[in-house]
């Protein structure tokens, strides 16, 4: 292990589920990342909406180091102080009465879907097992969650898939209404479809789903893995919409870069999962819980959340300016610091190329499908870094337009 690892090692040693960039980041501070060659990048990707407080945040380092001195892992045969503190924080700041901890967004959704099936079965019998989900939705990569996701290309090769999942068009309340019925145990939806292209739900769509779930005693699951923990300028996007779910999954930003996830619910539904009915070895691990507590403490403050909205305005005004000169986007959308720029028809399918050119210019960003550039930066990204990153992005767009 004395030789420097290189990008070639990825192809030699890693199962090729990803196609990472040609450079390898080695250090991150705030919203800046440095690669092996010492080149610096402004980070508008935020580790896919994870590094909500940027890289190497001082308070998170302190929480992690302090916990590392006392207790790393103990298992769920014992509770621990950090997890109890974190559960209380989440309950006191949301609709929830009870919390289940796990390690990833997929696991939080898996827990939610299992809880909903069990609640349906316990209260209405085995036939109440159907799940309604939406086209282009994304809920993770376990077999159950990838089947709930609305992109068949991610699931079809793994058949046979779990049965009883129906997909309907997102933001189409009439079709949802025709599909949700007596045998529906759950409806799972992202308040803003993230991977599917940064597409916000219409408020009346979520309100309508709420009413349909109430009518049929089905559980409304909000997948807030990407939209949660301050991303939209509220602690959770359901607060922006004023529609309360029965189950909510949260992950990504919750640990600010340390893996942790949670499924939140009310007392009414929490009892469906009894002792032994579900669990995970690492869920509620003290290290992860200590870091997540520090994340929440930092983010769940009115001034901090207002800062997210202010930064959005800074992004929007500059992105509109960039677009006025170049006419590359047909729409700039999202909420808070989850921003999607959809390429217009002349540039369809070029999001990946543009993001690669942007990295060459020194700014990291995400895509959401082939046609959408996505920004999910740290929620505390300095104003100066937004300016610098967007001017590098503009330079990348110019290179792209000149290459055509």
What span, in angstroms and rounded, lies between the C-alpha atoms of 227 and 238?
9
- Single out the residue of 96, 225, 253, 335 in contact with ligand PLP (rule: CB under 6 A): 225
Binding of residue 128 to ligand PLP (CB under 6 A): no
CB closer to ligand PLP out of 48 and 395: 48
Instruction: Please give the residue whose beta carbon sits closest to ligand PLP in the complex.
Output: 105
Site residues (CB under 6 A) for ligand PLP, limited to 86-125: 104-106, 109
User: Which string of DSSP letters, residue by residue, matches 262-299?
Assistant: EEEE-HHHHTTS-TTSS--SSTT-HHHHHHHHHHHHHH
Q: Residue 42, interface with ligand PLP (CB under 6 A)? A: no
Q: Which two tokens stand for residue 127?
A: 């036939």
Q: Which residues pair with 193 in a beta bridge?
A: 199
Asked if 223 touches ligand PLP (CB under 6 A), the answer is yes
Supply 319's token pair. 């992105």
Instruction: Give yes or no for a contact between 366 and 338, defined as CB atoms under 8 angstroms apart.
Output: no
Q: Phi and psi at residue 15, in whole multiples of 5°?
A: -65, 130
Q: For residue 165, list its beta bridge partners.
A: 131
Using rule CB under 6 A, residue 226 touches ligand PLP = yes
Within 13 A of 247's CA, how many CA atoms are on the CB side? 31
**Region from 84-92, 138-146, 281-289, 342-350 binding ligand PLP, contact rule CB under 6 A:** 138-146
CA dihedral 361, 363, 364, 370 (to 10 degrees): -60
Nearest approach, Cβ of residue 401 and ligand PLP (Å) = 30
Q: Pick from 138, 170, 238, 329: which binds ligand PLP (CB under 6 A)?
A: 138
**Residue 358, CA distances (Å) to 40, 41, 64 in order:** 12, 10, 33
> Cα–Cα distance between 246 and 181 in angstroms, integer?
17
Q: Is residue 170 part of the contact set for ligand PLP (CB under 6 A)?
A: no
Which of 118, 139, 216, 231: binder of ligand PLP (CB under 6 A)? 139
Q: Which stretch binds ligand PLP (CB under 6 A): 29-37, 75-83, 133-141, 301-309?
A: 133-141
Looking at 134-142, 151-159, 172-180, 286-294, which segment touches ligand PLP (CB under 6 A)? 134-142
Size of the site for ligand PLP (CB under 6 A): 15
Q: State which residue, 138 or 144, has the beta carbon closest to ligand PLP.
A: 138
Figure out which of the listed residues 43, 110, 190, 385 binds ligand PLP, where binding follows CB under 6 A.
190
Closest CA to 262 of 224, 298, 300: 224
Residue 144 within binding range of ligand PLP, rule CB under 6 A? no
Q: Residue numbers of the site for ligand PLP (CB under 6 A)? A: 104-106, 109, 138-140, 190, 194-195, 223, 225-226, 251-252
């Amino acid at each position: 292990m004395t030789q420097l690892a290189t990008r070639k090692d990825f192809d030699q040693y890693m199962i090729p589920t990803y196609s990472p960039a040609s450079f390898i980041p080695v250090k991150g501070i705030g919203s800046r990342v440095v690669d092996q060659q010492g080149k610096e990048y402004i980070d508008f990707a935020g580790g896919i909406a994870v590094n909500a407080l940027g890289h190497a945040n001082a308070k998170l380092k302190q929480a992690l180091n302090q916990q590392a001195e006392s207790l790393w892992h103990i298992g769920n045969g014992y509770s621990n102080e950090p997890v109890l503190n974190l559960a209380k924080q989440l309950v006191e700041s949301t609709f929830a009465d009870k919390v289940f901890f796990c390690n990833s967004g997929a696991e939080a959704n898996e827990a939610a879907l299992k809880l909903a099936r069990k609640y349906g079965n316990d209260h209405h019998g085995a036939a109440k097992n159907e799940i309604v989900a939406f086209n282009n939705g994304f809920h993770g990569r376990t077999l159950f969650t990838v089947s709930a996701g609305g992109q068949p290309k991610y699931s079809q090769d793994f058949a046979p898939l779990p049965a009883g999942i129906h997909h309907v068009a997102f933001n189409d309340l009439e079709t949802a209404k025709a599909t949700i019925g007596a045998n529906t145990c759950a409806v799972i939806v992202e308040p803003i479809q993230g991977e599917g292209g940064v597409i916000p739900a219409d408020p009346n769509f979520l309100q309508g789903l709420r009413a349909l779930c109430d009518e049929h005693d089905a559980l409304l699951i909000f997948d807030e893995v990407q939209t949660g923990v301050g991303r939209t300028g509220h602690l959770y996007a359901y607060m922006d919409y004023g529609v309360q779910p029965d189950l909510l999954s949260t992950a990504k930003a919750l640990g600010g870069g340390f893996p942790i996830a949670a499924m939140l619910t009310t007392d009414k539904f929490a009892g469906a999962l009894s002792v032994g009915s579900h669990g995970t070895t690492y869920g509620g691990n003290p290290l992860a819980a200590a870091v997540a507590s520090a994340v929440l403490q930092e983010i769940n403050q009115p001034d901090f959340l207002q800062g997210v909205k202010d930064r959005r305005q800074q992004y929007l005004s500059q992105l509109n300016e960039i677009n006025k000169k170049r006419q590359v986007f047909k729409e700039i959308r999202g909420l808070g610091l989850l921003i999607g720029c959809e390429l217009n028809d002349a540039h369809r399918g070029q999001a990946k190329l543009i993001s690669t050119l942007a990295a060459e210019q020194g700014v990291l960003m995400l895509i959401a499908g082939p046609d959408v550039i996505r920004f999910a930066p740290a929620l505390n990204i300095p104003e100066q870094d937004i300016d610098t990153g967007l001017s590098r992005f503009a330079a990348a767009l110019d290179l792209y337009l000149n290459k055509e």
